[in-house]
Amino acid sequence: MATTTATEARPWEIKLRETAALYRSSLEENNLDAYFEVQRSAFGVDLKSLNTWSFQKPEKAYSLKLESDDERERLKSLGKQLIEDHQTAANDVKATSDAIKNGSTGKENARVRMEKAREEAKKKSAEIIDQQFDRAQTLIDQLPDDKQEAATDFWIQLSNGFLAFWKIAMDAIYAVLKAVIDWLENMWETVKQRWEDVKATFKDAWEWFQALFN
């Protein structure tokens, strides 16, 4: 995301910048657990225990902290784009998986293509986070000084909540890659199930997101 000099940066801007940087570095190291060691919760939900079979609603009281409907709607729009862009990134990996299944390719070529697709999804995720955090910074900068800290906290909590779902999706995508690497007789059944897991994860993510603003 865009940076400012140390003398210019306000506490809320530093918080945004450091959160985005932590996500990017954790992603590059293939260790999103490191991100959630720091960013442990979102709206009262323990992100380490979050999974698609124990859906929890965020605390509604927290979602009302901004008080202004306009502020909440603008952050909601950014959050919606955050999820949509990640869903597109996941769909792009699935398109590669489907192309491998429907084409004639050997094990090694399939592995290379799937690894490339997964790495591309990680790259896109980092770009999405940078872009949306930049937009959040621009939005928050326009708010009154006494609202900026609350808006920053709200945005980070919102991002954390979705990224917990994204980690589950990425774990399933890695399982797809692993199935292709193993190249067992029933691998396409495994791949099909893992993509069903990704689909279910995004369904839960959208339900979580809608509950946050209802």
- In whole angstroms, what is the distance from residue 117 CA to residue 42 CA? 29
Q: Which of 121, 196, 194, 128 is nearest to 162 (CA)?
A: 128
- In whole angstroms, what is the distance from residue 39 CA to residue 47 CA? 8
What's the full length of the chain, in residues?
214
- In whole angstroms, what is the distance from residue 91 CA to residue 55 CA? 23
Question: Where does 142-186 have alpha helices with state H?
Answer: 145-182
Domain-embedded: residue 12 = no
pLDDT of res. 31: 93
Q: Are 100 and 113 in contact (CB under 8 A)?
A: yes
Domain-embedded: residue 104 = yes
Count of alpha carbons within 13 angstroms of residue 127, beta-carbon side: 9
Contacts for 191 with CB less than 8 Å, ≥ 6 apart: 97, 101, 176, 179, 180
pLDDT of res. 214: 74
Model confidence at 186: pLDDT above 50: yes
In the numeric block, which tokens belong to residue 91?
Answer: 């769909």
**Per-residue pLDDT tens over the stretch 14-39:** 999 999 999 999 999 999 999 999 99
Domain containing 80 equals 68-213
Domain-embedded: residue 4 = no
Phi and psi torsions of 74, nearest 5°: -70, -40
Domain-embedded: residue 20 = no
- In whole angstroms, what is the distance from residue 159 CA to residue 133 CA? 9
The b-or-e profile of 84-123 (16+ CB within 10 A means b, else e) is ebbbebbeebbebbeebeeeeeeeeebbebbeebbeebbe
Mean pLDDT to the nearest integer, 147-170: 93
DSSP letter for 57, please.
P
**Per-residue pLDDT tens over the stretch 82-99:** 999 999 999 999 999 999
Domain-embedded: residue 5 = no
- Is 41 strand, coil or helix? strand
- CATH number for position 182: 1.20.120
Mean pLDDT of the residues in the chain: 89
Q: Which of 151, 164, 136 is nearest to 40 (CA)?
A: 164
- pTM as predicted: 0.89
Domain-embedded: residue 26 = no
DSSP letter for 54, please.
S
Chain center to CA of 189: 26
Domain-embedded: residue 17 = no
Domain count, the chain: 1
Domain-embedded: residue 190 = yes
**Per-residue pLDDT tens over the stretch 30-69:** 999 999 999 988 877 788 776 555 555 666 545 545 556 7
Mean pLDDT to the nearest integer, 144-172: 93
